Structure 1
């Protein structure tokens, strides 16, 4: 009787091993199918989404091509300046890039870097430290810098060259 119990346990162990291996194989197959669907199906979905939006993208590109491609002009050095605050003055360092449309505007912006730097520094140094602490204050400073810069470029060049002023680094001590 003891021998029969050992055989049953040993036989059940083989079935458990077989079920474990079969379960692992099924798991691997399921993971492979899911991975295939995610990676190849995702690109098909993206393609379908792109073609579905293709009319809108083409319409937007038509308007964008009239202006040109977005290009980014980095300022050669960061702006470092002092701003007054309620409790104490603070030092600010801002790294800036300008978004322009088209290679012609990029060339114009590169040619007028001293004018751009002067205009931005004048706008930045008129800020208040208490305003620059908040995100809304930094956004307001970016918008004011953009409008001042566009006005300065219109006076010199005769057209709007810069579409966006982007802060790529902002440190206040």
Structure 2
């Protein structure tokens, strides 16, 4: 009888030991899969950025007369904080938050642009706060505001540096309440 009890205990310990190893193996396998997926996404982002940078250089024949000469690779200068302002709406005023990045060409343009961020922020805030909620609701209105912002930023930078520096004003986030 005592031998049967010992055998039963040994079988329980063996089966619980196997269960522990199965659980540990499953967790380790899941961890490996998560790490592989994370590495794959990170390397994919770098390849996409590199590919877009290498494809972003246009030939002079494809440039329009309004665009400045494109020298160097595209670099992006982010504004340190989003622009928050109030615009008139149809029935009431709306609060708007816009996150902006500026596309420039070459490291020298990037450095000059970063040096004049307060001037750029002030100019963009004037342009954005002069808009209306109706303009910000439509794609055409957003495009018009981006073009106006680009013109105003270029003019402000030209008055200080002698160069327009900025090629595009990009909205990376727009929230209206």
Superposition TM-score tier, normalisation by shorter sequence:
0.5 to 0.7
Q: Kindly tell me: are residues 66 and 147 of structure 1, through their superposed partners in 2, closer, same or farther at Cα, counting changes over 3 Å?
A: closer
- Superposed CA offset, 1:80-125 (max 9, x none): 0000112110000000000000000000000000000000000000
Given the two structures, how large is their TM-score scaled by the length of structure 1?
Answer: 0.63
User: Which residue in 1 is equivalent to 2:7?
Assistant: none
User: Which residue in 2 is equivalent to 1:132?
Assistant: 136
User: Which residue in 1 is equivalent to 2:59?
Assistant: 60
For residues 61-80 of structure 1, the aligned pairs below 5 Å read 67-80=71-84
User: Which residue in 2 is equivalent to 1:158?
Assistant: 162
Q: Name the one with the larger helix percent.
A: 1
Q: Kindly tell me: are residues 58 and 152 of structure 1, through their superposed partners in 2, closer, same or farther at Cα, counting changes over 3 Å?
A: closer
**Pairwise CA RMSD of aligned residues?**
2.4
Q: In the aligned structure 2, how far is the partner of 1:159 from the partner of 1:172?
A: 33
Q: Which has the larger radius of gyration?
A: 1
Q: Kindly tell me: are residues 59 and 165 of structure 1, through their superposed partners in 2, closer, same or farther at Cα, counting changes over 3 Å?
A: closer
Q: In the aligned structure 2, how far is the partner of 1:165 from the partner of 1:58?
A: 18
Given the two structures, how large is their TM-score scaled by the length of structure 2?
Answer: 0.61
Mind listing any 5+ residue stretches in structure 2 that lack a counterpart?
A: 1-55
Q: In the aligned structure 2, how far is the partner of 1:141 from the partner of 1:105?
A: 23
Alpha-carbon shift at residue 171 of structure 1 (Å): 0.3
For residues 27-106 of structure 1, the aligned pairs below 5 Å read 60=59, 67-106=71-110
User: Which residue in 2 is equivalent to 1:34?
Assistant: none
Which secondary structure state, in structure 1, belongs to the residue aligned with residue 98 of structure 2? strand
User: Which residue in 1 is equivalent to 2:118?
Assistant: 114
